[in-house]
Amino acid sequence: MHPDKGLLQPWELLHNLHRGSSDVDWCEGNYVVSSFIAEFVNTLSNILFLVVPPLLIFLFQNYAKSVQKKDIFIIWVLLIAVGLSSAYFHATLSFAGQMLDELAILWLICAGFAIWMPSRFLPVGLHRRAFKMGMLAITITGTILACIRPVVNAFALMTFGIPITVMLVVEMRRCKNDKIYRLGIRTVILFGSAVFCWLNDRLMCEVWLKWRFPYLHGLWHILIFLAAYACCVLFAYFDAAEAAPGYTPRLRYWPVDSFELGIPYVTLYLREDSSKPHDL
């Protein structure tokens, strides 16, 4: 569907499943490596979205039990959904794939806001459950609007990075944990680098083609995943420090805690015994 056509029509749905039906075409050449996959690197670069979240589901069992927030597993499942839909989109360049990709990102971002928005930022008297219902309504409304004017979806989603970064910086300044601060700095750098890759691939493709590196969007997938899940880990830590006063949250790394380039996760310890993680 051409972006100027506006709202999707029922008879367009089948066409939108066809390969190449999307107006978005990234810098990487189409069907260069495989006759079945349109953008080979852009498709395979989603692998982290599929491999890491199942491990995070396991690592965050302690957090989910201690803080009583099992909806964190929704975040990890949505990360997998983003990876699957992005891979489908880049493999087919279909409009259906594009919409699935963008809507999965929208639902992931809104779910993150619903779960981890700091309580002090909520209107006075508004309970977390009511806020979650409000975010659900906003997400459904956003889904409808995304189908009305899909050409602005990508740039609209990018703007969510501004309030998320602001809240992350605010929380980092309140936190005195050096380990958290270092992860926060790496997360901001990763996000900035990811945005740089996305914008350059989208707006300066000819330049990168001259340099024979039309793979910045694939690099965006890797960087934005690392930034996104690290951001989730950080907000899970901030939330645990506020919502579980009887426990001490600890940032740890898998597989070796002393190796800070591993996979970060949060575990909680009883305040009277900080040597062992709490397990209900």
Residue ranges of the binding site for Zn(2+): 90, 217, 221
Q: What are phi and psi of 35, to 5 degrees?
A: -80, -5
For the annotated binding site for Ca(2+), the residues are 25-26, 28, 30, 39
What residues contact 194, with CB distance under 8 A and at least 6 apart? 220, 223, 224, 227
In whole angstroms, what is the distance from residue 143 CA to residue 47 CA? 25
Q: Please give the Cα distance from 79 to 81 (Å, whole number).
A: 5
Q: Which two tokens stand for residue 251?
A: 């940032």
Q: Where are the alpha helices (DSSP H) in the chain?
A: 40-44, 47-59, 61-67, 72-92, 95-116, 128-148, 153-159, 161-174, 178-203, 205-210, 216-243
- Known binding positions: 25-26, 28, 30, 39, 90, 217, 221
